[in-house]
Structure 1
Amino acid sequence: MKTLLTATALAAAALLAAPAALAQAWPDKPVKVVVGFAPGGAADQIARLVATPLGEALGHSVVVENRAGANGNVAGEAVAKAAPDGYTLLLSSGGMVSVNPHLYPRMAFDPTKDLVPVASAARVAVYLMARNGLEVNNIKDFMAYVKARPGKLSYGSPGNGSSPHLAGEMFKSQAGLYAVHVPYRGAAPALNDLLGNQIDYTFDPGIGLQHAKSGRLKLLAVGSSKRSPLFPDVPTLDEAGLKGFDADTVFGFYAPAGTPAAVITRLNTEINKILATPAVRERLVNLGGEALPLSPAEFGRRGMDDSKRFGAIIKERKITAD
């Protein structure tokens, strides 16, 4: 009996030690992060901001690869079908999990089952920006201007169902106005056309803030529940009369389902450490967001909450992926 108990204890100890040993052995080669949107956008910049220090922490390089398309589904599917060994990760806006299932009647993968949350990276607000030549200088005048010209103005977004698109539809719904939506393959192309006066306004996820600072664009309002520390004098849309307006989204890292828990724990720990560094926090603020370190479980719950919020506006506005 004593021998049996000893053997059982040793086996249990071995099982407990296995995850720790796995986490120490991984990685032994570069890790790839697939970004679901075009280069230059918020997702791409966040991925690259984290990738370099994450590679230093892991002892192997972290390579960023962009696979834009279908509001993040192209990248999501690629990662969902990758080997669950910790060497392929996804960096996406939360929309891929919380929005796309409401948009696409059929998806090649189930983001809630085929992917697992690893670590959130940032809460990203959207900023209502207008082209510089538009004859308005504040949000009240802007809403009146658009309302008086139904269908005459256009706004751009990174694509159907993206958080800036949903923000635009929330805005039209709550303000009682109509403008034409122009979808792009990423936030950067939409910004370029706004700067080129090809569209009239956009809900920018932060990459255009430098142009607002320089005066090339007009920053009229923040589509968040609170003002931006970068622009404390710019009101929120809630303050402008659109009560409860909140189009924030959370960008973060996901892995294929079945990825060892020890690897996910290691990644979450290292990414949260990176998010706590002053340089990264400052850079995220300059991008228009804020660091949001969460556990995998907390990150998963945030995605479910966002799914309810965005699902409601998708249903109301009859938004589709096309």
Structure 2
Amino acid sequence: MTIQLSRRRLLQAACGAAPALLAPSWLRAQAPYPSKPIVVKVAFPAGGPADESIRAAAVVMKRSLGQNVIADNLPGASGSICAMNVLRGASDGYTLLGTTGIDFLVAPLTMASARYSPEKFRLAGFAGISDFILVSNPTLSFKNVDEVIAYARNPKNRPLSLAHWGPGSGPHLVGADFQARTGVRFLEVPYKGAAPVTTDIAGAQVDLTFIPMGGPTYGMIKAGRFKPIGVASKARHPSLPDVPALSENKSLADFEYSQWAGVLAPPDTPDAVTARVLEAMNAWVASPESRARRSVNLQRAIEPMTMAQAQAFLTSEHAKLTRIAKNLRLAGQ
């Protein structure tokens, strides 16, 4: 009797466990996010402004999330190679995209190979925001943008080269608008990211570039390795009072461009996971490390965001940059 009762209980226990064993893995897993290291795939080479901002943010993200946050560089094609790589992975929050706004949003409009829909990603926070600045290599004698325009308009002079990091990139869009407004034409030289552009501007291999003021840019200006021509903002920057705003030139009224570096979650990432990443990024923007970084590299101050605010910002930026790209006839190239 005792043996029969034991067998019956064993059968009942086995039958009762069956539904749990058949449940999907996401339902069975009870470990809170994150339970393992997170990889942020950075769309540009190591050492550039975006990479430096994201790596700095990753230190505070690790503290907030309680897991290692690893930056893994995958540059090329204005960041679209990295975006599509992240898109092919799992939408579980363990592989995130670290990129820059203009490049991420405009590349699908200008490159047939950039086959992704930016609006389907989820913005999970800013690593940094910087105004663009036009700089030349240190061997050139230009003192301001008027001299650059006058030189470029003279057919007797050699064409000036303008470095950027590929079709659809931020510097490509800013440079295209600059040329359209002023009527000058530069010899465009594409790179894979800001880091090699920085090297070749400092080494006088190319003449000009539009580059975000964050990252190593301000240090390169202070060291005399970049010559500042003008800031793409409404007013002069207080840390560079002798460098004009490009909008001071009549041809460039309201010429304002900034670049944001951020972390994005791929489509279909659970809301709770995206919210947890955003919480960690908000911890970054409010941290002493972030404030110290802004004070030395001229980045803008950033306010913490809700998920709704983050997505509204991404939607607005996508609409604005799509309009600019189409007006400049960059879309569809």
Partner-residue secondary structure (3-state), 1:290: coil
2:130 aligns to what?
A: 124
CA distance in 1, matches of 2:233, 2:292: 19
- Which of 102, 110, 114 lines up with 1:103 in the alignment? 110
Does 2:239 correspond to 1:230? yes
Alignment of 1:85-234 (within 5 A): 85-105=92-112, 107-113=114-120, 115-149=121-155, 152-206=159-213, 207-234=216-243
Equivalent pair of 1:151/1:178 in contact (CA under 8 Å): no
- Cα displacement (A) at 1:163: 0.8
Alignment CA distance shift 1:300-1:225 (3 Å): farther
1:281 aligns to what?
A: 291
2:320 aligns to what?
A: 309
1:16 aligns to what?
A: none
Alignment CA distance shift 1:302-1:249 (3 Å): farther
CA distance in 2, matches of 1:280, 1:319: 35
Structure 2 alignment gaps of length 5 or more: 1-28
Alignment CA distance shift 1:294-1:146 (3 Å): farther
- Which of 26, 38, 41 lines up with 2:45 in the alignment? 38
Partner-residue secondary structure (3-state), 2:227: strand
- Cα displacement (A) at 1:138: 2.0
Structure 1 alignment gaps of length 5 or more: 1-20
Deviations 1:215-274 (A, max 9, x none): 222101111234334313322111233111122122211112222212221221221121
Q: Which has the larger radius of gyration?
A: 2
Return the letter of the residue paired with 2:266.
P
2:63 aligns to what?
A: 56
CA distance in 1, matches of 2:315, 2:54: 22
- Cα displacement (A) at 1:192: 1.1
TM-score by length of 2: 0.83
Higher mean displacement: 90-99 or 214-223: 90-99
Equivalent pair of 2:236/2:245 in contact (CA under 8 Å): yes
User: Aligned pair count?
Assistant: 302
Partner-residue secondary structure (3-state), 1:89: strand
Identity of aligned residues (%): 33
- Cα displacement (A) at 1:148: 2.1
Partner-residue secondary structure (3-state), 1:246: coil
Alignment CA distance shift 1:285-1:223 (3 Å): farther
Equivalent pair of 1:164/1:203 in contact (CA under 8 Å): yes
Return the letter of the residue paired with 2:148.
F
Does 2:249 correspond to 1:240? yes
CA distance in 2, matches of 1:81, 1:287: 34
- Cα displacement (A) at 1:65: 0.3
Equivalent pair of 1:226/1:236 in contact (CA under 8 Å): yes
Partner-residue secondary structure (3-state), 1:165: helix
- Cα displacement (A) at 1:284: 3.5
- Cα displacement (A) at 1:194: 1.1
- Cα displacement (A) at 1:164: 1.2
Partner-residue secondary structure (3-state), 2:97: strand
CA distance in 1, matches of 2:272, 2:224: 48
Equivalent pair of 2:201/2:207 in contact (CA under 8 Å): yes
Equivalent pair of 1:76/1:96 in contact (CA under 8 Å): no
Higher mean displacement: 57-66 or 309-318: 309-318
Equivalent pair of 2:163/2:188 in contact (CA under 8 Å): yes
Return the letter of the residue paired with 1:198.
Q
CA distance in 1, matches of 2:269, 2:142: 51
Return the letter of the residue paired with 2:326.
K
Return the letter of the residue paired with 2:259.
T
Q: What's the C-alpha RMSD, in Å, of the aligned pairs?
A: 2.5
Alignment CA distance shift 1:282-1:173 (3 Å): farther
1:295 aligns to what?
A: 306
Equivalent pair of 1:157/1:182 in contact (CA under 8 Å): yes
TM-score by length of 1: 0.85
Partner-residue secondary structure (3-state), 2:280: helix
2:9 aligns to what?
A: none
Aligned structure 1 segments of 4 or more residues deviating by more than 4 angstroms: none
Equivalent pair of 2:152/2:184 in contact (CA under 8 Å): yes
